[in-house]
Chains A and B, each alone.
Chain A
Amino acid sequence: MNIDYSQFLNMIPEVTLMALLVIVFIADFATSQRAVIPTSNGEANSSSRAWFNPLVCLLMAAHIVINIFPTTASVAFGGMYYTNPSVGVIKTILALGALIVLIQSREWIQRPDTQFKEGEFYILIASTLLGMNMMVSANHFLLFFLGLEMASIPMACLVGLDKYRHNSAESAAKFVLTAAFSSGIMLYGISFIYGAMGTLYFDDIAAKITATPLTIMGMVFFFSGLGFKISLVPFHFWTADTYQGAPTTITGYLSVVSKGAAAFALCSILIKVFGPMVEYWQYMLFIVVVLSITIANLFAIRQRDLKRFMAFSSISQAGYIVLAIVGNSAMSYTTLSFYVLVYVVANMAVFSVISSIEEHNNGTVDMESYNGLYKTNPKLAFLMTIALFSLGGIPPFAGMFSKFFVFMSAVKGASLSTTSGVLAYSVVFIALINTVISLYYYLLIVKAMYIKPNEKPLPWFKSANSTKLALAICTAGIIMFGVFSMVYSWIDSASIASM
């Protein structure tokens, strides 16, 4: 059998990512010392490879630059793989998220006791990203499943990367078990669809699918597998434990990039493949969105551990992301991608601050210890505040615009004379009320930092330059993405071109 190698030209993002992976692998291999196991007091013989992190960041930046202009729509490998401008945009956004994670990870990964894992950390990040790219570009359920697993399994390794500290190992175990379980259910759903349709190609299914008990079951089972990745209620239970146990940088990665990829895949599959069943999945999304936003908010209010808190915050944000899909139009892609983009910068800013504080204060992630942070670290407290404001949706930060657009998308085309239209408006209304609740708990942190008195606030410290860079990128994004509409228009034009 002959393979037409020119088909690889259609998948440049994957090719460049693969190239990155190989380069990093070789670089790591060529320069690594004999495996250095840390001694009990955390000292390692430091053969610090200071160039390694910048190299990877530069490669990732190059990957973004090469792929920043969205490609035209095309299909490759007999219809297994497809790409279009909006897929290109989401890939760029995901890569941007990964880049911020890489920049921000430097402080943590070059610590003596984790430094010997530096190479594998980068490779694992790159391979999850590659998996996510396959996931959003898949045009066939099996390729989709492969992409999903390719994103999941290295992710489990990442979660357990810090296995000698905290409960990293426990959280990795929980992640693996739940992932296996959800993959099983998802495959079960896919098999229903195959049974009903006789094919797994997206295009073929979309052409003839109708709502029957079998396809509905297939769709819901498939959806719950993705719901696990996006951590929607009731598939979210692993989130809090895993987020808490994982290294903070990885928690950030999990909460934005992994979630964004799965949400986009869900969006395109629901709209493209299950398009004829739109009224069913709209109801499904209504239920799940309301549950996710509300229940996660209720949990978040009670949290005192910042990482657990961010886990519930991310579940609630996932609800907003998925709400964008309800509109079932080109605007869904736009608003979803834009929401993910804004969420990437805002959430990564929060995680950068958390991780920086954790690194300098013996792993403190307790909300109590943030009391009076403003007195000692005013800049950090201020950036954290901006990021939290954006997450809460306070103008003029980008978060307000992304929420507004999601709500717009959700009620687009909904008329109050139909049941689903009324439902769409009610869901948006509930989401609005929940914004107030979410604002309350985001402001709890702000209040802790600025107002609450503290005898012994965290001492002043100087963040590493890499953390500063990550924070600068994030803050710039939070401010610019909202006020400069070019970003939104750029995503919008890509989505319209892809329809």
Chain B
Amino acid sequence: MEYSYAFLILLLPFLSFLVLGLCGMKMKKPVAGFIGTIMLGSLFAMSLYTAYEYFFVIGRDAATGLYPTVTVFNFTWLKFTELLTFNIGFRLTPISVMMLIVITTVSFMVHIYSFGYMAERDDKYKFEEYEHGFQRFYAYLSLFTMSMLGLVVATNIFQMYMFWELVGVCSYLLIGFYYPKHSAVHASKKAFIVTRFADLFFLIGILFFSYYVGTFNYDMNANPELIGKLASVAAKYSWLLPSALFLMFIGGAGKSAMFPLHIWLPDAMEGPTPVSALIHAATMVVAGVYQVASLFPIWVQYAPNQLHWVAYIAAFTSFYAAAVACCQSDIKRGLAFSTISQIAYMLVALGVSYAVDNHEGGLGYMAGMFHLFTHAMFKALLFLCSGAIIVIIGSNFKQYMGGLHKYMPITNICFLIGCIAISGVWPLAGFFSKDEIVSACFEFSPFMGWFMTLVSGMTAFYMFRLYYVIFWGQSYYELDPENRKKPGEVPFVMWGPLVFLAIVSIFAGWIPFGHFVSATGQSMEIGLQHFEFTSVAWFSLLAAAIGIGLATWMYLPKNNPVPDMLAKKMPRLHKAALNRFYIDDAWQFFTHKIVFGCFSKPIAWFDRHVIDGTFNFMAWSAQEAGETIRPWQSGDVRSYAAWFLTGTVALTLILLCILS
């Protein structure tokens, strides 16, 4: 059978997790690293082969002209009742194949990169209780890769949810990886609690959906019977599907850090930088986007208005995050806000769709997925570059950087490529995907189009601001060369992946993505790839140019007074942006004052007095009864026989009474 090796894609990383998790502590560091990396290398190869088979060898179905939905396997994992049955399966669709490639590519690069990064970082955490960080790290990475792959190939929404929670756990473990550090522990807890809170809605949504529709399946291509079920449910309960889908989206919003649930992602940067690149930029955080895309046919058909709410939420998030990103001094947090903003772009693209049609209303689907793909590459690149800088500088803060272009030429070039790509400058990857999104927005409403163009200008501004303050401007080292460590280039294991991702970021835009993924599944052309520039394209190029120009003017020269002056002129705004517009404080107030005060305390009282009381009473009565009946067990065989006979006769009498 085709794809018969597919089970290995889930099994290999799991095995590697078991091996590294159970025996990793006894291995030498390089051995553990090699096991993880070789496993991922083979996964990467398998994913590429799968994609090649799927798109080119087997290709489109002759009858429908679509890429078929292939369910490689789908077995019953737990069967509680006929209806309550959990399946685990492996499903290939154009977007899941695309996700396979994204996940394994980035994960493979991160595995290689971590050899350099983690070895250096490990030395910094030589606490006694903090042994074997390196081996543990690779074990978690394997587990994460397995979970993320399981999520994207899910055949049913419950499987997706299960792996969804697993990636959440991995994210928690990896954010709190440097657990001797208090801030890391706090960040991991925050991430876990916030996403878990959102996942609660996801679960409620799943329960609503599956209870009324009667199945966990969500793919109408793989399960044709679903079409009828959905139609009849929608006819009977018009409120159901929109609310279920929106509840699920709240779960996705938590994972994908949409406003106001985004608060965990900036703090998640406490984790090792390769993790930020893999989990908090390229793969896990786009799970929400992937979820909406997977349910896209249902959204469009049964909940188009709610889908637009998604677009509005996402559009606001993208603007908000871009604004905050403009004045972060921690480079990783700056990138984190940029990630929030870019994921919001993808969700905007999905949200502005209003039909399953490649050109009229469905362009956003293709654009969103395309942006997911390109963004994963260049954002991973940017994060890995920042990791390289952090390794050399030993800090996340921009004031310790500056003027690094002399010392780190390769990182400099790679970071610049990432910046150009994300800013949407022709001919790099970001230009094509972002421009399709903006076109889709214009199709939806001019306001949305202009708004997203503005945000893309802001993107260019804050990215180049970051670039200039790191690589140009006043060098921190040169201020006091005697006492400060001289920066230098990172080793090959680290710059190798950077170069690879940079090359991908340059050329990914030229992939004829519309041929592979589109709303209807039919092939579509992306005009820009044939130099058919529309006015939309010119406008966004202009916005990017303005953003870059502004950043160059403000931050390229050494000691330019303009930024400080602006900050002084608008102190309130600047302070608010620095503090992320006080959203964290708002949540703090909401949870501590309102939730804890109004709900938790009464519930705690009820729990302590009523529920505990009931159980204490049960325990007490059981103890007492036990004491009372103790003499029955006398050790006297004759009395045993008497009880035996009494019991038999009593049972007979009772049954005879029932008979008569």
Contacts and interface: CB of A to CB of B under 8 A. Distances in A.
A182 B644 contact: yes
B79 A489 contact: yes
Contact of A485 (B76, B625, B626, B658): B76
A68 interface: no
A177 interface: yes
Contacts of B625: 298
Contacts of A241: 635
Given A221-B652, A284-B655, A437-B622, A178 B637 contact: yes
Residue of B629, B633, B644, B645 most packed against chain A (CB within 10 A): B644
Contact of B655 (A177, A181, A280, A485): A280
Contacts of B77: 485
Contacts of A489: 76, 79
A220 B633 contact: no
Interface string B614-648: 01001100110111011011010101110111111
B64 interface: no
B62 interface: no
Contacts of B639: 237
A224 B651 contact: yes
Contacts of B623: 301-302
A301 B622 CA distance: 8
Contact of B618 (A238, A284, A302, A437): A437
B655 to A, nearest CB: 5
A52 interface: no
Contacts of A288: 651
Contacts of B652: 216-217, 220-221
Nearest to B85: A485
B79 A185 contact: no
A73 interface: no
Interface residues of A, number: 44
Interface string A293-304: 001011101100
B87 to A, nearest CB: 10
A216 B79 contact: no
A117 interface: no
Given A301-B622, A408-B81, A284 B651 contact: yes
Contact of A224 (B79, B81, B648): B648
A389 B637 CA distance: 34
Contacts of A177: 637, 641
Given A211-B659, A440-B619, A220 B626 contact: no
A496 interface: no
A262 to B, nearest CB: 16
Contact of B629 (A228, A235, A238, A299): A299
Interface in A406-438: 408, 433, 436-437
Contact of A234 (B79, B619, B647, B654): B647
Contacts of B629: 295, 298-299
B57 interface: no
B656 interface: yes
B229 to A, nearest CB: 25
B657 to A, nearest CB: 10
Nearest to B76: A485
A375 interface: no
A174 interface: yes
B447 interface: no
Contact of A185 (B76, B78, B81, B645): B645
Contacts of B646: 234
B80 interface: yes
A472 B332 CA distance: 46
A283 interface: yes
A306 B464 CA distance: 71
Nearest to A281: B655
A17 B645 CA distance: 36
Given A301-B626, A485-B77, A240 B651 contact: no
Contacts of B654: 283-284, 287
Contacts of A238: 637, 640
A61 to B, nearest CB: 26
A217 B659 CA distance: 12
Nearest to B651: A220
A301 B645 CA distance: 26
Contact of B644 (A211, A235, A280, A436): A235
Given A221-B648, A287-B651, A237 B656 contact: no
Interface string A273-285: 0000001100110
Contacts of A374: none
Contacts of A437: 618-619, 622
A194 interface: no
A213 interface: yes
Interface string A479-497: 0000001001100000000
A216 B618 contact: no
Nearest to A176: B637
Residue of A233, A302, A489 most packed against chain B (CB within 10 A): A302
A488 B76 CA distance: 11
Given A216-B659, A485-B76, A228 B644 contact: yes
Nearest to A240: B633
B655 A216 contact: yes
Interface string A176-193: 011001100100000000
A178 B659 CA distance: 30
Residue of B632, B635, B637 most packed against chain A (CB within 10 A): B637
A382 interface: no
Contacts of A240: 633
Contacts of A212: 659
Contact of A299 (B79, B80, B626): B626
Contact of A178 (B81, B619, B622, B641): B641
A298 B76 contact: no
A286 to B, nearest CB: 10
A202 interface: no
B655 A283 contact: yes
A450 interface: no
A404 interface: yes
A221 B645 CA distance: 9
Interface in B170-185: none
A185 B630 CA distance: 26
A182 B622 CA distance: 30
A317 to B, nearest CB: 17
Nearest to B78: A485
Contacts of B615: 436
Contacts of B640: 174, 178, 237-238
A182 B637 CA distance: 13
B651 A178 contact: no
A284 B648 CA distance: 10
B316 to A, nearest CB: 41
Contact of B630 (A217, A302, A488): A302
A292 to B, nearest CB: 11
Given A302-B626, A437-B622, A485-B76, A216 B656 contact: yes
Given A237-B633, A437-B618, A185 B644 contact: yes
Contact of B627 (A178, A284, A302): A302
A352 B647 CA distance: 34
Interface in B344-382: none
B637 A298 contact: no
Given A178-B641, A241-B635, A489-B76, A185 B655 contact: no
Interface in A299-354: 299, 301-302
Contacts of B622: 297-298, 301, 437, 440
Given A213-B656, A224-B651, A485-B78, 7 more contacts: A177-B637, A178-B637, A241-B635, A284-B655, A299-B633, A301-B626, A408-B81
15 contacts: A181-B644, A185-B644, A211-B659, A220-B652, A224-B648, A234-B646, A235-B647, A237-B639, A238-B637, A238-B640, A284-B651, A298-B629, A299-B629, A302-B623, A404-B80
Interface of B: 76-81, 615, 618-619, 622-623, 625-627, 629-630, 632-633, 635, 637, 639-641, 643-648, 651-652, 654-656, 658-659
